[in-house]
Structure 1
Amino acid sequence: MNVSIGCSGITWRKRGLGDGLADIASAGYYGSPISGVESRDAAEIHRLWTSHGLAPAPGYINGEYWDPAQRDDQLHAARINAKVSRELDLTDIFIAVGGFETVTRAGRTRRQAAANAGQLDMLTDEQFRRMTQTITEVCEVFVEEGVRPCFHTHVGTFVETEEEVERLLEAVDPELLFVGPDTGHLAWAGIDVNNFVRRHARRITSVHLKDIDLEVRERGRAEGWAYAEFEKAAIWTEVGDGDIDFPGIFRILDDEGYSGWLTVETDVTQQPTPFESARISREYLAGLGL
C-alpha cells in the first residue's frame, strides 16, 4: 500500500507536545496528527512538526452536533480546522460525535454505558435528525476547502454501536462524509472490524490503528464497567499485541487500492514510557512491510 505511517500524541498527554513529537520521530514514524489549531496557525504547526522531522497528519474534530444551541460554534470550529488543514495540504480530517458526559434517558452518561449502550442510552429520532443535519453542514465546510471529513467511531459517545454508526453513514451523503475507522473503538463496541472495513472500504480515506484486549472487553461488559474501568483494566494494547486482525484489515484495504494515513493510537499504555509503546507498534508494522 502507498501509505504514510503516523503516531498520535495522545499517549503523551501528561508529558507535553514537544516530548511527544520528539519520541514519535525517534520511534521511526513519518508524521503525527496536528493539534491546537485554535491557538496555532498553519505556519506555526508546520514549523513545530518539521523541526522534529515529522509531517503534519490529519487532525480531529468532534462536537455535540445534536444540540442546536451549539450549531454556530461547531460551524466556526469547522471553518478554522478546514482552513488550517488546507494550508498544510492535508486532504483529510477525522470527525467524531461527543456525548461522554451527557445523561441519557436511561439516567446514565454514555461514558458510563461504554460497550453496553441500550435504546434508552441513544439519541431520540429528532436529536439524531438534528445531528445528521449539522454534521452535513460541517462536512460541506470541509469539502468546500478540499478536505474530506472522515467519520471516526468512539466508544462512550452517541455514535458508538453498529446500529448508530450505520444509521449515520446511511443518512449523510458519502460524497460529503467519508469513513475514518478506529480499529480499537470498533472492536470495543462489538463491531466486526474486518467486516466493517470491507463494507466501507471505498469510503475510507484515513485510518486510526488501535489494538485492544478482547478478554478485558468481555469481562467489562459482563460486569457493567464504565469507560475508565475498561482503561484501568488495560483494554488498550500496543498495535499487534492485542486481538485486532491487522494483516486481514490491510489486505482488504490493499485490495481496494487504499492510499493514505495509517495513524497509530494507544490511548493508555502499560509500557514504562510512551516512547516504548510507540516503538513496539512501529516495529510491528515494519514487520508487516509498512
Structure 2
Amino acid sequence: MENTNSLNRRDFMRLAGLAGAATLAAPGFAFAEAKKRKFEIGATFILWGYGANNLEPSLQDISALGYHAFETFGNVIEDYEKNRGGFLPVVQKYGVPLVSTFCQTDIVDPSKKAGDMEKLVRWAKMTKAAGGKVIEYCASGVNRKGFDYKQHKDYMVSSMNDYAKAVTDEGLVCALHPHTGTAIETEEEIYYVMENVDTRYMKFGPDVGQIQKGGGDPVKICKDFVSLIEHVHLKDFAGGDNGWLGYSPLGQGKVQLATILDMLEKKKKKMAGMIMFELDYDNKVKPAYTPLEAAKISRDFLASLDYKFEKKTI
C-alpha cells in the first residue's frame, strides 16, 4: 500500500516546477542571490531644484535617506566658492560626499569652444578639490527641430575629444551623458558618438531615463557600452506632464531598472563614479510627491533589490 505522505518522482518534479514558477513570478526574483551589492547608490540634487539655494535642502534629505554620495552642477560649486563661504563646509555639514559634477559645453558652434573649455577646466578643478571623481559631461542644448547631427558630426567628435582630454588631464573621469534637447539625444546619435570618440578620455555616463524618453533602448545601449560605463544616472520615465518632465520615482515608470542594475553588477567590477538616483524637477506642475517623498520611494525601491542604505534616519 502506497504511503499517502510520500511523493513519487513525478509528483516531486511537478511541485518543484510549480515552486520554480512561483519564484520566477515573485518581484525581484532575479536578485534572490544578490545579498551583497558591490555598488553603492548616490543621488543628484536636481529633484530639489537647480540653483545654489537648493543645495542645502537636498543634502539634508539625501543624508537622512542614507544615499551614499551626491552630484551637483559646476556653477553651484562655483557660487558657493565665490559667494557663500566655500563649498566644502556645507558638504561636510551633512556628511554626504561629492562624487560627480554635471557640466555642459557646446559641441556644434566652434566660436564657443574657448570659453567653454576654460569653464569646464575651472569646474573640474573645483570638483577635484571637493573630492569629486567624475565630470558627468553633457552637450548643451540645441534646437532639435530640424537638427541633423550629421551636419556637425566631425566637430562634435573632435571637440568632445578635446573636452574629455582636458578633464582627464585634471585627474578626473569624463563620462558622456546623453540628454533630451541636446545634440546627443537619439539612439543613433548615441551610437555614432560612442563609436567615434576617443574612449581613452571619453567614457560613458548614461541617464537611462533620458535615453528612454529620447526613444532609445536603455538596456541595449548599456549592454553594448557596458565596458565604458563609469557613472550612471538611474532615472525612470513614465511620460505625461507630471511635475517631473515625464520622469517618475524609481519603479513607477517604464525603464527596466532591475535589468540594468543586474547587468552592471555582473559586468562591471568597479566604476570611477557611482549609480545615482535622479528625478528631474519641473516647477510648472505640482508633482504627486514632495522631493523627500519621491527620493524615499526611490530609495525603498532600490532597497527591495538588496541595495543598502546603512546611515538612513528616515
TM-score, with structure 2 as normaliser: 0.76
User: Could you list the per-position Cα deviations for residues 226-256 of structure 1 after superposition, in whole angstroms to 9, with x for gaps in the alignment?
Assistant: xxxx565962110111121111111211121
Which secondary structure does the structure 2 equivalent of 1:187 belong to? helix
Structure 2, unpaired ranges of 5+? 1-36, 308-314
Q: Percent identity?
A: 24
Distance of 1:24 and 1:255 partners within structure 2: 27
List, as ranges, runs of 4+ consecutive aligned residues in structure 1 with deviation greater than 4 Å: 230-234
1:159 to partner: Cα distance: 0.7
Partners of 2:208 and 2:233 within 8 A in 1: yes
Larger radius of gyration: 2
User: Could you list the per-position Cα deviations for residues 150-201 of structure 1 after superposition, in whole angstroms to 9, with x for gaps in the alignment?
Assistant: 0001111111011111111122111110000101011111211111111001
CA gap of 1:73–1:212, structure 2 versus 1, over 3 A, is same
Matched, 1:189 2:214: yes
Within a 5 Å distance, the mapping from 1:41-60 to structure 2 comes to 41=81, 44-60=86-102
Matched, 1:38 2:74: no
Equivalent pairs counted in the alignment come to 259
Within a 5 Å distance, the mapping from 1:74-223 to structure 2 comes to 74-99=116-141, 102=142, 109-110=143-144, 113=145, 120-125=146-151, 127-213=152-238, 216=239
Distance of 1:6 and 1:166 partners within structure 2: 27
Partners of 1:212 and 1:236 within 8 A in 2: yes
1:69 to partner: Cα distance: 1.1
Give the residue type in structure 1 aligned to 2:302.
L
Partners of 2:63 and 2:95 within 8 A in 1: yes
Matched, 1:266 2:292: no
Structure 1, unpaired ranges of 5+? 103-108, 114-119, 218-229
Distance of 1:241 and 1:75 partners within structure 2: 38
Work out which of the residue numbers 247, 250, 253 in structure 2 matches 1:239. Answer: 250
Distance of 2:178 and 2:213 partners within structure 1: 10
Matched, 1:283 2:300: yes
CA gap of 1:53–1:210, structure 2 versus 1, over 3 A, is same
Partners of 1:180 and 1:206 within 8 A in 2: yes
Distance of 2:90 and 2:244 partners within structure 1: 35
Distance of 1:147 and 1:265 partners within structure 2: 21
Partners of 2:45 and 2:72 within 8 A in 1: no
Give the residue type in structure 1 aligned to 2:278.
E
CA gap of 1:271–1:132, structure 2 versus 1, over 3 A, is same
Backbone CA RMSD of aligned residues = 2.2
Give the residue type in structure 1 aligned to 2:297.
I
Give the residue type in structure 2 aligned to 1:246.
L
Deviates most, 171-180 or 89-98: 89-98
Specify the alignment match of 2:18 in structure 1: none
User: Could you list the per-position Cα deviations for residues 82-118 of structure 1 after superposition, in whole angstroms to 9, with x for gaps in the alignment?
Assistant: 212222333211111122xx4xxxxxx32xx5xxxxx
TM-score, with structure 1 as normaliser: 0.82
